[in-house]
C-alpha cells in the first residue's frame, strides 16, 4: 500500500513545485503571461524542462538560476536588487517621500500665511477676499454636537 502511495505523493510534490516555479517565470514569447498560463510552444517546453530539473534533484534556486542564465534576467517576474534595478525597487519610496514633502510644505505654507494675515490685520493692512474667507474658515467654531440619547436622558432627569 505504501509503495503505491509513495510514487503518487512524490509526483504531487513535483507537480506542486513545478507549478510554483512556472507561475514565477515569464513566457518569452507572450511576455505578459507566466509559462503556467501560456500555451505557447516555448512555455510548454519550459514547463517540461522545469519538471525534468526537479526530478533530477535540483533546488528551486538552481532552476531559477539556470533559467536566468539561459534566457536572461527578464524571464523572471521578480528582478533581483542590484545597481541596475535599484531605481525600480526604490521608486515607490521616492514617490511617497516626495508626496509627504509636498504635503508638509503646503501645510507649513498655509500656517505661515495665517500668521502673515494676522500680522497684517494688526498692522491695519486690508485683507483680500480669499484671505477673509480663509480667516473666517479658520476662526469659525465647529457646529455643536448633536445630542446623544444619553445626554438627553441626563437633561430630562435634571443632571
Q: Give pLDDT tens digits for 121-158.
A: 788 888 788 878 877 887 788 777 665 666 666 666 66
Q: Is the dihedral of CA 96, 97, 102, 106 positive or negative?
A: positive
- pLDDT for res 1: 46
Distance between CA atoms of 129 and 136, rounded to whole angstroms? 11
C-alpha cell at 104: 508638509
SS3 label, residue 34 = strand
SS3 label, residue 36 = coil
Q: How many beta carbons lie within 10 A of that of residue 97, not counting itself?
A: 11
Does the pTM surpass 0.75? The reply is no
Q: Maximum CA pair distance of the chain?
A: 98
C-alpha cell at 85: 534595478
Amino acid at each position: 500500500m505504501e509503495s503505491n502511495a509513495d510514487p503518487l505523493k512524490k509526483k504531487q510534490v513535483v507537480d506542486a513545485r513545478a507549478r510554483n516555479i512556472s507561475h514565477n517565470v515569464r513566457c518569452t514569447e507572450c511576455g505578459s503571461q507566466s509559462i503556467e498560463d501560456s500555451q505557447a510552444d516555448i512555455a510548454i517546453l519550459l514547463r517540461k524542462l522545469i519538471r525534468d530539473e526537479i526530478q533530477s534533484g535540483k533546488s528551486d534556486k538552481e532552476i531559477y538560476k539556470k533559467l536566468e542564465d539561459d534566457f536572461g534576467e527578464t524571464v523572471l517576474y521578480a528582478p533581483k536588487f542590484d545597481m541596475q534595478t535599484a531605481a525600480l525597487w526604490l521608486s515607490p519610496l521616492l514617490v511617497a517621500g516626495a508626496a509627504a514633502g509636498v504635503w508638509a510644505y503646503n501645510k507649513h505654507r498655509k500656517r505661515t500665511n495665517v500668521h502673515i494675515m494676522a500680522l497684517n490685520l494688526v498692522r491695519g493692512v486690508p485683507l483680500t477676499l480669499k484671505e477673509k474667507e480663509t480667516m473666517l474658515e479658520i476662526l469659525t467654531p465647529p457646529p455643536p454636537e448633536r445630542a446623544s440619547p444619553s445626554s438627553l436622558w441626563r437633561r430630562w432627569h435634571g443632571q
